[in-house]
Chain A
Amino acid sequence: MTGKSGPLAEAQKVETEMKTRSKAGQTAVWQARLIMLVMINIAQLWVLAATVDAALAGHYSVLLPLVIASGVCFVITLSIIKWWRPTSRRKTSTGYVREDQ
């Protein structure tokens, strides 16, 4: 009876461990994205409430900054959804490389 041993088995073990770590890392990034998006949404909700309040109270000077703040939040949201994506890394003989999704 021969158990798995040697450099090949060791390499497979390392590969498996790296995949597990990579998966855990990706999950963390996804969670971070979601939390950030939810927080930005809450901030935008507050900005909308402040805008309505200012408009009804006749405080016209603060309307533009509030709309700009809401727009900035929207741009950040877009950037998170569009570009801020989790990536996985794979180890090769030349080091870590990024895998295309």
Chain B
Amino acid sequence: MTKNLSDESDVRAATEPFQAEFPYERDEEAQVTRREFCNFLGLTSAALFAGAAGFAGKAALDARESESLAAAHIEGAETLAPNSSLNFSYPTERDSAIIVRTADGAYHAYGQKCTHLSCPVYYSRDHQRLECPCHEGAFDAATGNVLYGPPPRALDTIEVETRDGQVWATGRSAKG
């Protein structure tokens, strides 16, 4: 009769002294009861609710902060030639933005992050539109709306005002 060396019971019998020192039951360890699984699902539900509430709360807080942005002077925008653009930061140094002076002389400013995957958009003089080099998306220079490509929505709009010949950024908003 050949003895099966890989038999689980034999292994447990052979390691009996160690079992006394480090007792554990593998079968019990692996088993999850229905009650435990139910409780786990309950905790998951609570975590998902907390996540949704937290994310919404933070977004609402950010929206409230963005409503009360301080106006900032855009250096060099006054001397911007028609059909050209200039990069600046608004409302913080980390928020890159782009101001475009269209051929008719009007100023339009937008957040520079593409609404697809946040690549920086640039102004194409030839096509007179804002383009994203990553996935070939394009935005209207006058409205910020999507012309074509994968971006799901328009660029964030930055309100601009001309005060005493100087161009100021006065607010930033996201379009649906």
A67 touches B56 (CB 8 A): yes
Which residues of chain A are within 8 angstroms of B17 by Cβ–Cβ distance?
none
| Complex Cα spacing A70 to B56, Å | 11
B51 touches A30 (CB 8 A): no
Within 18-62 of A, Cβ neighbours of B (below 8 Å) are at 30, 33-34, 37-38, 40-41, 44-45, 47-48, 51-52, 54-60
Which residues of chain B are within 8 angstroms of A70 by Cβ–Cβ distance?
48-49, 52-53
Which residues of chain B are within 8 angstroms of A34 by Cβ–Cβ distance?
34, 37-38, 41
Which residues of chain B are within 8 angstroms of A78 by Cβ–Cβ distance?
42, 45
Shortest distance from the beta carbon of A24 to any chain B beta carbon, whole Å: 15
Range of interface residues on chain A?
Answer: 20 to 34
Which residues of chain A are within 8 angstroms of B59 by Cβ–Cβ distance?
54-56, 60, 63
Can you give 30 contacting A-B residue pairs, CB < 8 Å? A30-B34, A33-B38, A34-B37, A34-B38, A37-B42, A37-B45, A38-B41, A40-B45, A41-B44, A41-B48, A44-B45, A44-B48, A44-B52, A51-B55, A54-B59, A55-B55, A55-B56, A56-B59, A58-B156, A58-B173, A58-B174, A58-B176, A63-B59, A67-B52, A67-B53, A70-B52, A73-B48, A74-B46, A74-B48, A77-B45
Q: Which chain B residues have a beta carbon within 8 Å of chain A's beta carbons?
A: 34, 37-39, 41-42, 44-46, 48-49, 51-53, 55-56, 58-60, 63, 115, 152-153, 156, 173-176
